[in-house]
Amino acid sequence: MYKGSTSDVKNRLLDHKNGKVKSTKGRRPIKLIHVECYVLKSDALRRERFLKTAEGRRLLKQQIRDILQ
């Protein structure tokens, strides 16, 4: 599961799908399953940092699992 932030989701997803992102290049094909939007960049970066922690990964996996059921 990849977590990142961008101001242009569409172009960032294309970069991932086209193998232009080192961290996901070897894990293609990829599928976008979750997006969060924030008004302030600082809020988005704070959330990204949290989601990269063990607690954040666990919480996000649980939320996605609940949504996809």
Kindly tell me if the per-residue pLDDT of 2 is higher than 90.
no
Q: What is the pLDDT of residues 7-51, one digit of tens each?
A: 999 999 999 999 999 999 999 999 998 999 999 999 999 999 999
Measured CA distances, 14 to 1, 25, 30, 34, 42 (Å): 17, 12, 10, 15, 24
Q: Are 47 and 63 in contact (CB under 8 A)?
A: no
Kindly tell me if the per-residue pLDDT of 68 is higher than 90.
no
Confidence class for position 57, pLDDT limits 50, 70, 90: very high
